[in-house]
Amino acid sequence: MAILFNQNTKVFTLQTKNSAYQMKMIDYGVLIHLYYGKRLEDCDLSYLIQRSDRGFCGNPYEMQHDRTFSLDYFPQEYSCFGIGDYRSDAVRVINGDGSNAVDYRFSSYRIEPGKYRLEGMPSMYGEEGETLVITMKDQSTGMELELYYGVFEQDDVITRAARIVNGTGDKVYVDRAMSLCLDFMRADLDWIHFYGKHAMEREFERSPLQHGRQAIGSVRGASSHQHNPFVILCGKETGEDWGECWGISLVYSGGFYAEAEVDQFNQTRLIMGISPDNFLWQLEPGEAFQTPECLMIYTDKGLTQLSHQYHRAVFNHIIRGKWKEEPRPVLINNWEATYFQFTGDKLLSIAREAKELGIDMLVLDDGWFGKRNSDNSGLGDWQVNEKKLGGSLRELAEKINGMGLKFGLWFEPEMISEDSILYAKHPDWAIRIPGRPANIGRSQLVLDFSREEVVDGIQEMVFSVLDEANIEYVKWDFNRSITNLYSSALPPERQGEVAHRYVLGLYRFLENFVNRYPNILLEGCSGGGGRFDLGMLYYSPQIWCSDDTDAVERLKIQYGTSFGYPISAVGSHVSACPNHQTFRKTPFETRATVAMAGSFGYELDLNALTPEEKEAVKRQVKEYKAHYQLIQRGDYYRLTSPYGKCRAAAWSFVSPDRRECLFCAVITQLQANPDGVIVKLKGLNPQGRYRLEGTEEIYSGSALMYGGVLLPIPREEYESYRYYFKEEEQPEA
């Protein structure tokens, strides 16, 4: 049993293999949080709370003259607004009488085998999970709350979600409903989060928590390039290989909020959930609001271990379908090769070359439909431009298939161009506030996916294209942030629901998609990684990591991404030189070294390559395929930080049995009269004897890990190295 409830102490303890989470029902049903950390057995940690009379910390009415009990001091399991806890609140409502307070007290609990699922929203799956549901009630109003906990014991994962039920006789508004509130009786913590912008996502930032509130989030209608819905709290001394850390991510693709507050008594609270901006959900009596899910992982073994656990948890319990296990195709995408300027013949010439070089699939990106020869028009018209393709899509796919290549296609289903047939027919399908000009982004408007008929209409068009030809991959793009939020289908008092209803509409479409086309490999995209989150990964096992294909900038982007997302999730391509985003020149081989740390492909005109480069492509594809399992399923080690002093960015993949290791490094700074760059490997068998592929050189695991690898003196800027080590069979004793 991973979920314990002690009837005497009224303590709930959730146990995983290496972690534990504890809360307790105390006086008058108040549910306090006691612990999340290293595994402990059934105990009662409430002795750690010092009861004393603290000035300006009020007390629940029932306590009368006992001033030692304050909601403003005790760590809370799910903090409520308006009843004396002045710290960050997880839930806030507008009651029928206009008041804001809600005071949830313990009512009942149930423990169930299997992990709960959320209807209409992505959530972690897995038979082996267990569920705890705690029901709370506000005695004054009748408002109810269900706190959901999912426990995956072996994977060290605990999930949380909340459901707010209107148990009153009045209409109530939910003003804020976080998925999680997590209190710590300490403040000596750092927080790590991943910020960015278009074409430079998920940059790593670590800072000490300060008194007061620090927050990240998105009000863009998508999880965004600017902040990722994944944060880590960790001890000051925590590094890659040691120390306590807590990873918390939201399984959600819309606007989100994460806030850490250090209070007056040097305690910390983290809340995370749907962005409370632009949010107000109306509940009629008996109705409920379900929050998305949060995933939490704790380890005392440092950030590398945290990432390994995240990679495993996401792979085992988020990623679904055929392409979870099946080797993903190495693809060539025509976007950076042609942009909108292509013909059917041009695509076929790229496909022909791709086949020669060992590539598996041609992906036709933007520009194949409607009036779409630039990004000013055509979105919403999901009809094939046969004139441009020189025939039907089926014919094109057949020709490509005939060459022995798979065929994939780009869509941007959530958008509409004003210059389109769809817009002429359904101008009201676009999100806009009546009487106010709508902001445009990339010259396009966003479709109102909170409306069922809009989702159904687009779905019908998309599905009919997919039914027309043998399409084995789809790239699902989303190229602007949402603004002017309003839905003509909802009354004024429900406009605060549009943002979340949009996400629910998107999830409904995606669920229909994966059910109807289980064989299609879906790749998520939002101008690169603007919606790189666990919500999207539930439907699309890989996501185009960034529109920045510059190998050197990708070092940071992929480094940041690796903290919370598995390597298989990272769409990554070799592109042309000079790079189209930065104009930087990097060696061809370096672009492959970086792109191989993901789901690999190419995005350039293969016909324009030199014979040497074509030979290199052949070798690279072969090498990637040979190491596919190691890269996709091995343990990923960040060996140096691209933000650090080391003149090389380095990482490695180690097989679960520790017998194989692929070491990769890119020189990031040149130096005259250079000192040696030594990188220490990790995760090997210290006693093992590892042969460096292509040589007779043998090193012990301990030499590689404690001594390290000496990089050669680089002969050009951004030189890179890929060393494959394999353990020799041990001679019989």
AA letter at 149 = Y
Exactly one of 46, 141, 249, 479 binds ligand DGJ (CB under 6 A); that residue is 479
CB-nearer residue toward ligand DGJ: 577 or 639: 577
For residue 353, what is the enclosing H or E element?
helix 344-357
Check if the beta carbon of residue 87 is closer than 8 Å to that of residue 278: no
Residue among 77, 248, 533, 225 at smallest CA distance from 85: 77
CB-nearer residue toward ligand DGJ: 124 or 525: 525
Supply the minimum distance, in Å, between the C-beta of residue 389 and ligand DGJ: 17
Exactly one of 547, 613, 719, 727 binds ligand DGJ (CB under 6 A); that residue is 547
Backbone φ and ψ of 651, nearest 5°: -150, 170
CB-nearer residue toward ligand DGJ: 310 or 335: 335
Supply the minimum distance, in Å, between the C-beta of residue 530 and ligand DGJ: 8
Q: 238 is written with which tokens?
A: 């925590």
Residue recorded with tokens 């046969």: 386
CB-nearer residue toward ligand DGJ: 276 or 528: 528
Please give the radius of gyration of the chain, using alpha carbons only, rounded to the nearest integer: 27
Does 410 bind ligand DGJ (CB under 6 A)? Our answer is yes
Within 8 A by CB and 6+ apart from 488, the residues are: 428, 434, 448
Backbone φ and ψ of 602, nearest 5°: -125, 155
CB-nearer residue toward ligand DGJ: 290 or 479: 479
Query: What binding mask, one character per residue, do residues 323-342 give for ligand DGJ by CB under 6 A, x or -?
Result: ------------x-------
Supply the minimum distance, in Å, between the C-beta of residue 222 and ligand DGJ: 13
User: Which parts of 96-185 are beta strand (E)?
Assistant: 105-113, 130-137, 144-152, 157-165, 172-184
Supply the minimum distance, in Å, between the C-beta of residue 557 and ligand DGJ: 13
Query: What binding mask, one character per residue, do residues 427-446 give for ligand DGJ by CB under 6 A, x or -?
Result: --------------------
Supply the minimum distance, in Å, between the C-beta of residue 375 and ligand DGJ: 6
CB-nearer residue toward ligand DGJ: 38 or 442: 442
Within 8 A by CB and 6+ apart from 190, the residues are: 206, 207, 208, 209, 233, 234, 235, 236, 238
Q: Within 500-529, which residues bind ligand DGJ (CB under 6 A)?
A: 525, 527-528
Supply the minimum distance, in Å, between the C-beta of residue 285 and ligand DGJ: 45
Check if the beta carbon of residue 135 is closer than 8 Å to that of residue 109: yes
Closest chain position to ligand DGJ (CB) = 366
Supply the minimum distance, in Å, between the C-beta of residue 415 and ligand DGJ: 10
Distance in angstroms (rounded) separating the CA atoms of residues 652 and 639: 7
Within 8 A by CB and 6+ apart from 3, the residues are: 12, 13, 14, 15, 111, 130, 131, 132, 149, 151
CB-nearer residue toward ligand DGJ: 526 or 593: 526
Q: Within 155-194, which residues bind ligand DGJ (CB under 6 A)?
A: none
Task: Describe the chain by its helix, strand, coil percentages, rounded to 5.
Answer: 25, 30, 45
Residues annotated as catalytic (active site), given as ranges? 533, 613
Q: Give start and end residues of each alpha helix (H) in 479-563.
A: 498-516, 534-537, 551-562
Does 365 bind ligand DGJ (CB under 6 A)? Our answer is yes
Residues binding ligand DGJ: what is the number (CB under 6 A)? 11
Does 601 bind ligand DGJ (CB under 6 A)? Our answer is no
Q: Within 119-158, which residues bind ligand DGJ (CB under 6 A)?
A: none
Residues that bind ligand DGJ (CB under 6 A): 335, 365-366, 410, 477, 479, 525, 527-528, 544, 547
